[in-house]
Structures are given as structure tokens and as C-alpha cells.
Structure 1
Amino acid sequence: MSETALAAVQKPTAEVPAIRLRRLTKSFGETNAVDGVDLDIRQGEFFSMLGPSGSGKTTVLRLIAGFELPTSGTIELEGQDVSGKAPFERDVNTVFQDYALFPHMSLVDNVAYGLRVRGMGRTERRERAAEALGRVQLGKFVSRRPSQLSGGQRQRVALARALVVEPKVLLLDEPLGALDLKLRQQMQIELKELQRSLGITFIFVTHDQEEALTMSDRIGVFNNGKIAQIGTAHEIYQRPAGPFVANFVGTSNLFDPVVAGRLYGRQEQFVVRPERLSLSWDRSAAMHDGVASLPGKVTSIVYVGHATQVNVALEDGPAVVVLVGTELPEGEQLLGRDVTVSWAHRDAVWLPGEA
């Protein structure tokens, strides 16, 4: 076989997923932590698993890593079944929230540790470790110890250590959870840029919707051991597949079938995002073509910096949150004030029923 033909056989194509899960189940006693998950994660994709505590996302990550074995179902890595293999037999690596750096080692030795375990010579492994540190903008600090670094720098060392062994897939288990808000936001951008430059498949577990929306090519929203929806950040935010996704990802105003029937003649639930609602500080706004309006009363006002959240109890509907980006009326008592809440019909997102 020629070298060209051999390379074509060995190199995975874009059609072969980096990770494929089929009917994946993990039970702990009578509890199904993962309940029949089917998922394809593409080559070179930044895929986030998003969900509340106990939704199954971290268990799925541990199953992919090999730290847990499935009760049933299969896990494929670039087309190869690895369901029963040990962690060291899978070409993946994991970055944890606590980083787990060796405090007595320099940064270069921390990063080179995985190569040392694999039997690589000292000179070569230190060269590769130094290159990996340079890739995460820490090339000047190779001799420092972890205690001499900030939280964000330690996080980058953990990334370099995971990447230096050139895994096919990098697993990240809430690696930004211990950072303060500003540093976490900075690291979100840096992490996405690093993934894009390396072209490695990243699987990122988080319960923070902002992290998932900011960094991901696609997101899988988990609930009760199942995937409630898979899609891009835009798809999941603008077109949630059900009430759980609508309420978990961002803030949604949920209208029940009774209100829907009165306004639209449809006995289904729908949601409208707070930024899609408009607020009139009186009850003069009338319903007209393309717009729905309901009267209500202001119950609270919360200033959030870039806007103001106005909570309104609708007379013939639920309590809703309206995001107001303009200045509020000055010199007037706004709490308890009668107002009108309106939205364009096109901004009402209809929700299918959930099993």
C-alpha cells in the first residue's frame, strides 16, 4: 500500500465523529444517571455539555474518559469502540476544576509529567513541555512553581499538561469554576481561541449557561440523564425545544395554554424572552396587527448595569420579566404602577410538550 493510501486509511475524516455515543446508560443502583444518550461530537468541535447538578453531564464525561464504565451502550473514539477500555488506553485527556498540579515541581516538569510516564527522554519531553507552555502564553515562567502563579495561570498550566500529549479529544470538567467572574470571562475567550488554533476536539462540561453560550460550536442541554436539546447557542437560546431548556438557558417568560388560547387560539405553551418584551408606562397601548399586549402592575425593579429588569404581574397572565434598556421615568413612583406589556407575534416561541 502506498504512503498516500495508508494516510487516507489512518486519518479520520470529517464524516467520522470524534466521539459517538449510542444508547449510553449508566446506573448507580436504581438510579439512571445517564439514560440512553445518543450523541455525535464532530472532529475539531467545541462541544459543551450544559445542565444543572445531577443532570448526567459529568457522568457522561467520566464515561468518555474511562473513569466509569457504562452499564450499557457504546462509546466510540474516531470510529473505534473504547467502551471497555481503561483511561490510559483511550487517546483523550482531562482537565479538572482543581487543576491537580504537583506543588513541588516546576511548571515545565508539571507539563512534562505525562510524557515522562510514556517513557520519553528528558531532553525531548522538556522541550515539548516548554513549547506547550509557550502556546498558552506562559513560556517565560517555565521554572516557576504553581504556588507562584495566579488562578488563571494555573488553569493554563493544566491545559498545557493535557495538550502536550496530543490527545485526540480534550475533556474539560468545569475548569473555570474556581475563578472569579472577570478572570473566568477572560479565560472563556482564551480557551476558545486556543481550541480554534489547535483544531482539537474539546468537550466542555459546565452548569454555567454564559460559558456554554460564549464558547461552544454546539451545546447539548442535559436533564435527568437525557439530552433535552442539541444545537448552536443561537438555536438553543432563540428556539428552545421545551419548557426546561427555555427556563434553564437564559430567562424566559412562559405563557400557559389558557393565555395562548385567548390570544392566539392555540392550546399550547409559548415563551417570550425578556429583551423581546416592550413596556408602556401606562395602559394606553392598544393591541394592533402583529403585536400582542396585556395590562399589568409593576412588582419590582432590579438594576443590572446594562439594563433594568422590570417585573410585572400581568392581570390575565403570568408574572413576567421585561428587560428595559432605556431610562426609566424620573420623579415618579414606579412600584405598583399600571403598565402595558407588549411583544411582536413573531417573538412568541411555541414549545412542544415534554414527555
Structure 2
Amino acid sequence: MTETLAAGRQAGTDAVPAIRLRKLTKVFGDTVAVNAVDLDIRQGEFFSMLGPSGSGKTTVLRLIAGFELPTSGRVELEGRDVTGLAPFERDLNTVFQDYALFPHMSLVDNVAYGLRVRGMPRKERQERAREALERVQLGKFLGRKPAQLSGGQRQRVALARALVVRPKVLLLDEPLGALDLKLRQQMQVELKELQRSLGITFIFVTHDQEEALTMSDRIGVFNNGSLEQIGTAHEIYECPGGAFVANFVGTSNIFDAAHAQQLYGRAEQVCIRPERLRLSWTAAPEARPGVTSRPGTVTALVYVGHATQVGVQLDDGPAVVVLAPETLPGGDAELLDRRVTVSWDDAAAVWLPSHGS
């Protein structure tokens, strides 16, 4: 597992983490859903758990929340062992994809409900609820019912309800999954700004790499119940700790050990991001030191707005994807099957270890 410091957060190594997991394991029958996960999440950090369905990220979140009990291992909250405690005994709160708002209650009563359960007097809890709704920019809608709101507004109410009890840690289980793309992108920015202003530790579960890369101080990439890599968005994208991370976080062109041996005399997998490749439509190689060029044939063109993804089958090599930001010298019909040369700076090649370490 690769552990790295988050850019801009130089927390002391002796500081007690907000959440500490030690050898956390969860087994369902014959399935190991979480496999001996060790993880420290820092105070005030926006930490994302990223991975495909079935990777174990949501199970880890449920173990932290207390909705599941581990088969073995330990969960600590600010240095206190909470492994065997019920969810309501842990000073944290959870926001789910299904916001589960009470449809018959006003927004202020929805947000105040957790304080009501805790026995707070009505005047004080109403004031706290109003402040929480103001913080998520819904202060003018106090008397509305959830059905009168948009999806993004309901998501903010769920956030206000979770934050009004002032938890030490906020857990977010794919809370943006039900929103459309434009609103999801807007909420990514708002969530990060809210987290920064509050200073509360956020633990965010997602399968969407863009969400994780956009919002996180650090990211933990999960696969088959294990942590493949931990690092900042930049570190994980630029220096993936293995083939799984390289393929899951962004798009990578991976040369297997045999092809890498031909190129560099080193029999290990190497990856190069599509934006690091260059195309010569005249099939002329770049004859410069520190540059590798290989001929190939165009097999596909996919326009993605800011650029075109050009698929190229290299001669005696893998199929690669080149992100071409420039205007192409023709239409799809005349460019398909065209002979080209793909070039890249050797410094752009990232060697992949056999296992995340």
C-alpha cells in the first residue's frame, strides 16, 4: 500500500487521527468483503474511498458507522476504540444517496429532528436548524416541505440534518449519485467548500473518479476488499501504484512486460496517459533524444468536446488511445485506417509494480 502526505495538509505524524482502522476485516459467508484494511484518516480531512461496485468501500463505511460489526480488527474514533459500539454511540453521522427526509415535516423540522431526539429544547434546536440551513444556502425555504424542492436542494437538507448535531466525522455514501451531471458537478464544488468552512472530517464513498479527484485531500482506491493505494489526487493519477489503479483512475495505455522489454529493455508493465501521447498524421517519427516513437494504424475516433480520443493499433505493440486536442486533418471516414506515428517523452512513462505497495 502506498501512503503519501496530502498536499496543503501537513498534519503532524503524532496527531491522533479522526478515524483509525487496524486490520479491519469483514467476511460474509465465503466472501471476504474487507480484507485486513489499515487506514488513518486525518482530522479535518476530505478523504474519498474510491472503487468499483463490490470493492469493499461501502462495507468499510458501514463498519466505521457501526451499521456492521467487523469479523476482526478495530475501529477508532479520535483514539477511542468504538468497534463494539452502536451507531448512536459514535460521534459521527451519515448522509446516504437516499436522503430519507420526512415528507410531512418542514425543512427546519427535518433538520431539527436529530436534536429533538437528543432532548434539546425546542427554541434552541430550531435556532440551530435555521443556522444549518443558512449554511447550505436554504435559509429562505425554512417552511417548505421536501416535495417542494429540487434534488440538489433535498441533498443540501440531508447535509444540514447530518451537520446540525456537530459530529466529529461525517460519512457520505454516494450522496450525489441520484443527481444529474450538471447538478452533481455543482454540488462537488459546494460540498468541498462546505467541508473547508466547517473543518469537519468528511469520508466520502464513490465509484466516480471525477468526484474523488475533484474534492479529495486524499483518496483510498479499493479493489476486492483491499486498499490498493492511498494518496492525493495528483499522486494517484500521475503515479498509480499498479495496473488496477492506472486503469480505474482515468484512462491508461498499459504496455505489458514483453512490450516494455522491447521499448526500454525492462520487463515490467509501464503505463502512459493518453494526454501524454502525440500523433504525427504524416507518419514521421520524432527524432529527438528522450522520445520514443512507434508506427500504427488509426482504429477509432471519439469526439469528447475538448479533444478527440484517437484509437491506434501500434505495429508490434498494444492498442493505445491518444487524446488529440488539436483540429484533426480530416473527417472520420478519411482518417480511419490511416497510418500514423505515436510519440511520447520517455519521462511520461510510469513503471507499475506488480502489486500495490
Same fold (TM over 0.5): yes
Measure the CA separation in 1 of the matches of 2:224 and 2:172: 21
Hey, what does 2:130 align to over in structure 1?
130
Hey, what does 2:342 align to over in structure 1?
341
TM superposition shift of 1:95: 0.1
Say if 2:54 and 2:224, in contact at 8 Å, map to a contact too.
Answer: yes
Say if 2:111 and 2:160, in contact at 8 Å, map to a contact too.
Answer: yes
TM superposition shift of 1:13: 10
Alignment of 1:71-82 (within 5 A): 71-82=71-82
Measure the CA separation in 2 of the matches of 1:254 and 1:316: 14
Measure the CA separation in 2 of the matches of 1:185 and 1:133: 21
Is 1:297 aligned to 2:288, yes or no? Answer: no
RMSD (Å), alpha carbons:
1.3
* Counterpart code for 2:71: T
Measure the CA separation in 2 of the matches of 1:353 and 1:287: 32
Measure the CA separation in 2 of the matches of 1:158 and 1:233: 27
Query: Which digits, 9 at most, give the CA deviation of each residue in 1:36-81, with x for residues without a partner?
Result: 0000000000000000000000000000000000100000000000
Say if 2:48 and 2:218, in contact at 8 Å, map to a contact too.
Answer: yes
* Counterpart code for 2:308: T
* Counterpart code for 1:215: M
**Structure 1 residues 131 and 13 mapped into 2: Cα distance closer, same or farther (>3 Å)?**
farther
Deviates more, 1:226-235 or 1:275-284: 275-284
* Counterpart code for 1:278: R
TM superposition shift of 1:172: 0.1
Say if 2:295 and 2:339, in contact at 8 Å, map to a contact too.
Answer: yes
Hey, what does 1:206 align to over in structure 2?
206
Measure the CA separation in 2 of the matches of 1:35 and 1:234: 26
Alignment of 1:240-319 (within 5 A): 240-319=240-319
Hey, what does 2:217 align to over in structure 1?
217
**Structure 1 residues 99 and 231 mapped into 2: Cα distance closer, same or farther (>3 Å)?**
same
TM superposition shift of 1:316: 1.4
* Counterpart code for 1:258: A
List gaps (5 residues or longer) in structure 1: 1-11
Measure the CA separation in 2 of the matches of 1:84 and 1:343: 53
Alignment of 1:129-208 (within 5 A): 129-208=129-208
Measure the CA separation in 1 of the matches of 2:258 and 2:61: 41
Hey, what does 2:6 align to over in structure 1?
none
TM superposition shift of 1:284: 1.7
TM superposition shift of 1:155: 0.2
* Counterpart code for 1:335: L
* Counterpart code for 2:268: E
Say if 1:49 and 1:204, in contact at 8 Å, map to a contact too.
Answer: yes
> Which runs of 4 or more aligned residues in structure 1 lie more than 6 Å from their structure 2 counterparts after TM superposition?
none
Measure the CA separation in 2 of the matches of 1:187 and 1:286: 44
Say if 1:14 and 1:43, in contact at 8 Å, map to a contact too.
Answer: no
Identity of aligned residues (%): 78
* Counterpart code for 1:91: D
Say if 1:26 and 1:70, in contact at 8 Å, map to a contact too.
Answer: yes
Matched residue pairs, number? 344
* Counterpart code for 1:51: G
TM superposition shift of 1:354: 2.2
Say if 2:286 and 2:343, in contact at 8 Å, map to a contact too.
Answer: no
Alignment of 1:81-96 (within 5 A): 81-96=81-96
* Counterpart code for 2:340: V
TM superposition shift of 1:330: 2.9
Query: Which digits, 9 at most, give the CA deviation of each residue in 1:300-349, with x for residues without a partner?
Result: 10000010000001111110000000000036710000000010000000
- TM-score w.r.t. the length of structure 2 is 0.95
* Counterpart code for 2:336: L
**Structure 1 residues 14 and 123 mapped into 2: Cα distance closer, same or farther (>3 Å)?**
farther
- TM-score w.r.t. the length of structure 1 is 0.95
Is 1:322 aligned to 2:322, yes or no? Answer: yes
